[in-house]
Each structure stands twice: as C-alpha cells, then as structure tokens.
Structure 1
C-alpha cells in the first residue's frame, strides 16, 4: 500500500495546501462529533441530579450548535478532499495520454488497445476512489476511534477494554479478506481489459466479420469472456458478502459487551447514567467507522491493484528519443543508407542496405511482399532506428536529429490509411494548424480528390466517420496524400498509397506531384509498374537487399524481377481488354 501512495505522491504534492485544509476540516468535524456524546452525558447527569430545567435547555442548544458546526466542516471536508481526488484523476489521465502518444511501435505491438483503454478509464477510477473517499474515510475513522477511545478510557477504562475485546479478531478478518479482495480485483481488471480489446477489435473489423459470416462465432466468444468476467465479479461479491456481515457481527458483539458490562457497572454505581448513555452513544458513532473501515480496505486494495497497472504504463519510455544535443535539420534533403540493417526479434528485415537518393529526385522502390520496402522508408522519419549501419539526411545521421524536427520535414502516407472521425477538411489539415481553406483545397486538387468532394453534400465539411468509414479506399488514400502535401515537406513518402485508385486517377495524381515537386525528394513504393515507371531511379528489393537499380528502360533491358513484373502487368491489361 505504501508503494501505491508513493507512486501517487507526485500528484498529491501539488495540492498540499488543499489536502491540509481538507484534513483541518476533517479534524474540526471529528472533534465536534466527539463533543456530542459529552454534552449528552452532561445533560442526562444534570437531569438525574435534579438541576434546573433551564440547564437542560442550554445543553440542548449546545447540541444544536455543535451539530451545525460539525455539519459545516463535514461539507468542506468532502468538497475539498474528494475535489482533490478529481484533480489528481485529471492530471493522471493527461499523463497517461501524454505518455501513450510518445511511445513507439514496439509498445503497441505488446499491448492491446482494449487493455490501454481499460487502464485509462476503469483502473484510473479505482485509483481516484483510493486517493479520495478511501483516504478521507480512513483519516476520519482513525481520528474518530482515537478521540472516542481516549474519552472512553478517561471515563471508564475497564468498560473500554471490554468494548475493545473483538478488535484483534477484526484486524485478522480485515487482513485476510483484504488480500483476497486485492487478488480478485486484479483478476477482474485483467478480464475487463480482455473484454475491452475484444469489443474494440470487433467494432473496428465489423465489415470483415460480416463478410465471413462470423457474427455468431464472435458473439459466442464475447459471451464466454463475459461469463468469466461475471464469474470473477460474483466471487468478489461473495467475498464482500462474507466480509461485511462478519464485520457487522463483530460490531454487534461489541454493543452486546458494552450493554451487558456497562449495565452491570451502572447498577453497581461505578458509572453514572449519563456515562452509560455516553458509552452507548460513542458505540453508535463507531458503527459507521467500523463498517467504513471494511469499505476503505476494499477501496484501498482495488486502488493498489489499479495503481500498479497504471504505473506499468507511466514507467514506459519511448525507445526512440531526441539526443541530448540534437543537430539542426539540414537544408538539403538528400538521403543515404549506409549498410543499413534492421532486425525484429532476431529476424533480419534489412541486411546491409546501401542506397543514395539525391535531393529533389523521385525514386521508386519495388519488390516482392516482405522484401523490406515499408521497413526501409520507416527508417527515414525514425519510426524505427537501424540496428546496424546508418541513415543520413543532408549528411547528418538521423539519430542525431530531434525526431519531432525531422518528422515536420516529411510527408508520410503509410500503407494503412488512417483518418480521424472528423471532417475531410480537418483530416487534410491535420498537423498544420495554420492551414487556410485555399491551401486545403489546393492540396485536395493535387491529390485528385477535389472532384469527389464537390459531389459530397457538405463538401469539405463532410464527416468521414470513424477511420473514414464513409469514404471508399481510394478516397481515403487521396485524403491522406492531400494531408501529406499540405505540410509542404522536403521529403514525401508514398508507401503503396495509390493501390486503391484506378490507373487514370493515378496518372492524374502523379502528374500533379511532378508539377509541384520542386526541390522535394519523393519516394514511391508500389507493386504497379505504372506508378513507378517515370521515377528518376527504381530500386528492386529482395530479402532486405537492393538486387536491381536503374531507370524503367534500363531495368526492362536487364530482364530481372522488374522486367517480369512489367511483362505480367502488360498481360493482365491485355486480358482485361478482351
């Protein structure tokens, strides 16, 4: 538990003043609460001692005043301490998101989206409950116990010892059940992550599920997960169902001892009627703290389990970071791969690759599936770093540059086009906050998207839905190309970004890119010869190495893989025309 609060301390520290004010209100509220039984005792003793009735009125007026005082500070205690737990939740959620967007691909290959969402929502709420209500009630119950027992010991230490007889049993029960609740809640949170991941994957892949008629199979899998989740929750409910009644039984035993032993001592004249009533009033006051203590233990154990899960994310560091003293971004955009190697889990993807791309040229990369084309271009914006060799831009190793500065100079359209659930205009302008409507339209026109947008009812303000679900594959690709062009990058990378458009649209887009290229370095990856044939140089990759290089005409004359690909696609075109 100490570890959990140590992890949370940096968040609580900034609210020290508020915590102290909240604890001050809590102390004043508990002191006022402890004064109520004392006033009750004095009032009853005044009546039994046949003092004037006016004295009783004053005691009654005092009870009203103390109760109002207690209520006022109880209000501020809750507002301040629970409010701070909300502030901590806000800060922690921001830190989780901030860290998540900094982390690299290797993190997301190990953790599922559903698990990330579960920790950022359900676990975070459990931590808030631990730092807010749990801490507040723990402090409140502890101080109430100390004040009540101190007064009770002063009045009759023997009766107080009888009242404390069940305390060791309560401690054992709390420790045993606390550990089991912690373990059970941790298992529940893991299952909740599994359910979140399953829902997220099914919603994202709903078209595939329908295409393969897997609705019933996925429903069955979800039901099985849900059944396990409910089973674990029922086990936790069973534990809680045993824990709370057992705690209440022990509280009842304490009442029974106070009534029995206290009544006997009253008849023996060892305590006054007022003191006897005061003892019972204090026992009534301690009922809620005893029950709350069990609830607090439950919240603490849940919060501890969730805090460890959140800390696992917060302690993750990005594998690709800016150097301590980054170099300035070079003016020229010539790119050189010097014996570049890249491996994943011991498997070589690129092997000693040597490649030079002069600034301002358009080069193309072709090759069989899995030959390393996408991995090659992902080394340029440092999505991955080489495991051997180096990648240079303008003669500077990219690892000596700040990744943020580097990526601002690159327009990258990956194989898997991703659009946000906003308007077309907002998707195109993503990353360029100062973009004007005219610049957005110009980028859309170069990407061959302007005509399509004109046919949409809301034009550029058309909502594209989650991941651009309302657009066709070609429209999504062209929106992503327009987004990359709007950045006016020094380096433009199109990774199979024209695969979903027809050859006529493709030619129009490529023509627009050539007219607008200027000093920009452009890298095209494609399986289509029509996409790459006009490139200044074409590189053919196989098993992470360059096996052919040259212009379209040179590679056709060589008669290698590229020539075979060209011949095959010519044949396909002839067959389509028959």
Structure 2
C-alpha cells in the first residue's frame, strides 16, 4: 500500500465529501442490519397468535428500513464515487502537466505506447481504488463489525462456530491476490507494447504500404494480441477461483449455523425468530466477505498502477526555472554565444560536442554545415534549452540561458526542426499554434513568406482544411513550409532552421530565403543545411566535424580554404551540372 500513500493529498482535498459519504454509510448499514431484528420480532409474534395489525406494523417498518438503506446507498455513490471521478480528473491533469515538463531525454527513452498506457489504464485502475474499493472497504468493514456484534449478542457460541472458516478464506484470498498482482503487471506491460505498435503503425502507414508490409504487420499484431490474450486468460483463470472459494466457505458457515442452531431451537435455548435472524445476518455477511476478495483485487491492481505512475512523477524536470532564474528578464534581443561548450547524451556515451566557442551577433545569419552525426542539431538544441550543456555555457545577450525564464527564452525562439510535425487540426490553427490570439492576416502574411500561400489556395477549404495526423495529407515540402510559417508567426528574435528545406525545390528555396532576409532584418538567424546554395549568403558559416568547429568563415573564404566546405561545394556544383546535362 506504500505506493498508494501518494494519493493522500487528493483525499485531503475532498475530505468533507468523503466524511459525508462515511456518514451515509453508517445510516445505510443501520437500515440494513435493522431488518433482521424486525423479522425476528415478527416471527416471534406469529408464534404468539398476534394480530394482522401487528404484522402490518412490522412489515411497514421493514419497508421503511429498506427504503432508508436504499436512499443512503444512493447518496453514498453520489458522494464517494463522485469524489473518485474528481480525483481521477486531478490526477490525470497532474500527470499531463508533469509529462509536458519532462525533458526530451525522457521521451527518447520511453515509447509513446508506454506513456499512453500510464495515462489510460493506470489512472483508471487508481480511480477504481479511490471509488469502489474505498467505498466498499468502509461499507463492508462497518457492516461486518455491526453484524458480528449483533450475532454475538444473539449467541456467541454459534457466532464463533460460524466464523471459524473465515481465516481459511482470508489466507486463500491473500494467496490468490498475490498471483493476481503479478499477472496484472504483466498484462499492463503487454498492453503497453500493443499501444506502441499501434501508434507506430498509424504514424508509419505510408512506409508500411510502400513496402507492402501489411500482411507482416497484421501477423505481428496477431502475435502480440495473442500474447495479450494469453496473459489475460491466465489472470481470468486465477480470478475464477475467488468466487467458488468464497461460496464454498460461506456455504460451510451456513450449514454449521443450521446444524448447531437447529439443535438449539429444538432444545429450546434459541427461539425460531433468533435462528432466522442469525441466518439472515450470515447472508448479509456473505457480501462483505465476497467484497473483501474483490476489493483486494482492485487494491492490488491500483498498487501496481500507482507504482508506475509514481515512477513517472519522480522523474525530475531537469530543465526548468530554478533559484538562479532572473525573472526581471522580459525579452531577449538575439546575441548568442557558445563558451567552451561540450555535450554528451549520457555518462556512458562519448561527447557529441567538444569545446565549442562561437559568437553570433544580433541581426546576423549563421549557417552550420557538416556531415551527418557531426553535432549540428545537438548544437542548436542547446539554445532553447531542449538540452543543457554538459560543460561550458550558452549565453544570450551575455546572460547564461539557465538564468533566463524558460517561457521568455522559448517564446523568442522560432525553431523549425528536422522532422516536420503538424497536428491533426486546421492549417490555420497549425500555423497559429504558438500564438494566444491568431489573426488571419498574420497567418496569410507568414504563409506568403514561407511560399505556402499558393498551396493553401489549391485546397477547397483553404486555411480551414484539416491536416491529417502528423501532416500525412501533405507532401514533405508542404509540411516544411507550414512549419516554417508557424515559427515565423511568433515573430521570433532568433530563428533556427534545422535542415528545413530538404524537401523543397531549389527555386522555391531561393524565394523563401529572399523573403526571410527581409522578415528577419535585425534578428538573428541560424540555418542548418546540407546544400551549399542554402548557406552561401550567410554572414558566417561554420563546418562541424566530429563535434568540433573544423572551419569557419564566409562562403568565399571557406571555398578558398580548400577544406571540407570546399569539397562539398565542388561536389554539389558537379551534381548540378550533371543534372542539367541529363
């Protein structure tokens, strides 16, 4: 139960409603346990040749007691079950808020399906504990105490005999629930794998169809589904033992009561009304005993789920505002400096960047070029603090980025990543995603700069056209230009383009670069590209090689240097000439 202790703050928030639910449970059980007493008195009156009026009186009391129990039973659900839904709402929101603040490193190490499993199955399992499990635990606990107390008052010896089988039941349930806990954990893991595969298939449906791998994916899904089914069937087989064990043992208790109690009635030490009430009370005890096993099952599942959720909640934000944050900083102008910067993704991996020293003046354009894996993307990810440096520091306007409030830092940086991502929403909302208030004029303006406006005009619904999931209905070039428009819409003081024109033809690229030169005047731009044509007009160009700045200068200076940049330049010129000849 130690993992469920983290729910304490949620229980305290709704303690008044829970206390009210506890009061309702008391009144409901009072109505329930009073019925057998009335039955006992009514039966004893029958033996004394009572009047119809007296029997009608007892019948009315029994109906009223049952009505009271029913009304308060309804109020119990309206209080405790409603609280469980409210706590589920709070827990889900807290989970989502925490996930949003976790660093990129977490999402690289954990699959989407695994995270989705936590957000759905695990939170639902915890909600079942908060609602039904808590409600029935208190309800059956109180009923058990009241009923056993009344049974003892009727005949303590008979009560003792009737309750003898229950310790055996408790041990049996304990053993079964331990197995259930183990099986349920494996089921959650299998479901996580299923969710991951489903998500990957939906996102990569183009690749699957292009390589004609539908049959393979169907078989793969069947195998995973079969594994998930087998794990569930193993759990069901174990759960199937709970009810027979409960019914057998409670049945033994009833047989004991009838055998010993019947003998007492015959001998005259108990009357017929008392033995009837005793049997009814034993029947009332059956539900608490059954509920005990059911609740134990829910608690075991919730414990396993909360353990996984607690593990996520324990994940540090790593990148967040801290004590050194200077909240007086309200804007950034755009001067960037890398000072002795080194970076590695984990302690067991080598450095991706090594002792980078670089200054980017306000309003200038820096181009970064280099072979795949040279550290280009890693370098620019340090500017908006998607990662923090391992050694050294990144400064903006002479201030360490760790001291700049994170929201101020990122609001002033327009980042267009390598992988173009669009939400399943309208084009208008995708472009205006970074703005609180979006005007159509702004969306059209940045679309024109990104050379995307003409594409939008070809769509029947224009900017209200729904984009397929992850932009699946767009071409690669359209996605890149839509993402560029989104970055420009926030009017960033720093614009970072990470190979953002790879799917755009050279003519369109030239037009975009011309537009950007005007739009980004007096603002800082960083362009990563493999095309020399994209970077040749930059104020400064650096060539990264194995995590170090191997070359630096203008286009003409680097061509004259005759190094890595010059080799790339001449190779691309040759490729262009060959294309023109063909």
- In structure 1, the partner of 2:367 is 364
Q: Please say if 1:31 is aligned against 2:30.
A: yes
Does the aligned pair in 1 maintain the 2:165–2:252 contact within 8 Å?
Answer: yes
SS class of match (2:240):
helix
Does the aligned pair in 1 maintain the 2:413–2:496 contact within 8 Å?
Answer: yes
Deviation at 1:140, TM superposition (A): 1.2
- In 1, Cα distance between equivalents of 2:332 and 2:169: 73
- After alignment, is 245-254 or 290-299 more displaced? 290-299
- In 2, Cα distance between equivalents of 1:563 and 1:459: 44
- In 2, Cα distance between equivalents of 1:140 and 1:435: 53
- In structure 2, the partner of 1:40 is 39
| TM-score, with length taken from structure 1 | 0.98
Q: Please say if 1:500 is aligned against 2:503.
A: yes
Deviation at 1:331, TM superposition (A): 4.5
Q: Please say if 1:206 is aligned against 2:209.
A: no
| TM-score, with length taken from structure 2 | 0.98
- In structure 2, the partner of 1:76 is 75
- In 2, Cα distance between equivalents of 1:231 and 1:330: 57
Does the aligned pair in 1 maintain the 2:334–2:363 contact within 8 Å?
Answer: yes
Deviation at 1:267, TM superposition (A): 0.3
SS class of match (2:39):
helix
Does the aligned pair in 2 maintain the 1:474–1:500 contact within 8 Å?
Answer: yes
Deviation at 1:52, TM superposition (A): 2.9
- In 2, Cα distance between equivalents of 1:450 and 1:21: 60
- In 1, Cα distance between equivalents of 2:434 and 2:261: 75
Query: Which residues of structure 1 form unaligned runs of 5+?
Result: none
Aligned residue pair count: 577
- In 2, Cα distance between equivalents of 1:153 and 1:207: 72
SS class of match (1:389):
strand
Alignment of 1:278-293 (within 5 A): 278-293=277-292
- In structure 2, the partner of 1:520 is 523
CA 1:348/1:485 → structure 2, altered by over 3 Å: closer, same or farther?
Answer: same
Q: Which runs of 4+ in 1 moved over 6 A?
A: none
Query: Which residues of structure 2 form unaligned runs of 5+?
Result: none
- In 2, Cα distance between equivalents of 1:11 and 1:465: 38
Does the aligned pair in 1 maintain the 2:261–2:275 contact within 8 Å?
Answer: yes
- In structure 1, the partner of 2:345 is 344
Q: 1:548 aligns with which of 551, 574, 577?
A: 551
Structure 1 residues 148-179: Cα deviation after superposition (integer angstroms, max 9, x where no partner)? 11011001111111111101101111111111
- In structure 2, the partner of 1:176 is 175
Deviation at 1:389, TM superposition (A): 1.0
SS class of match (1:369):
coil
- In 1, Cα distance between equivalents of 2:154 and 2:332: 86
Structure 1 residues 170-206: Cα deviation after superposition (integer angstroms, max 9, x where no partner)? 1111111111111111111111111111111111111
User: How much is the aligned-residue C-alpha RMSD, in angstroms?
Assistant: 1.1
- In structure 1, the partner of 2:128 is 129
Structure 1 residues 398-430: Cα deviation after superposition (integer angstroms, max 9, x where no partner)? 111122210011000010111100011100000
CA 1:455/1:370 → structure 2, altered by over 3 Å: closer, same or farther?
Answer: same
Structure 1 residues 335-357: Cα deviation after superposition (integer angstroms, max 9, x where no partner)? 11111100122311000011111
Q: Please say if 1:537 is aligned against 2:536.
A: no
SS class of match (1:456):
coil
Deviation at 1:35, TM superposition (A): 0.4
Alignment of 1:230-249 (within 5 A): 230-249=229-248
Structure 1 residues 245-274: Cα deviation after superposition (integer angstroms, max 9, x where no partner)? 111110111111111111111001011110
SS class of match (2:264):
helix
Structure 1 residues 91-140: Cα deviation after superposition (integer angstroms, max 9, x where no partner)? 11111111111001111122110011011101111111111111111111
- In structure 1, the partner of 2:88 is 89
Does the aligned pair in 1 maintain the 2:148–2:159 contact within 8 Å?
Answer: yes
Deviation at 1:509, TM superposition (A): 0.3
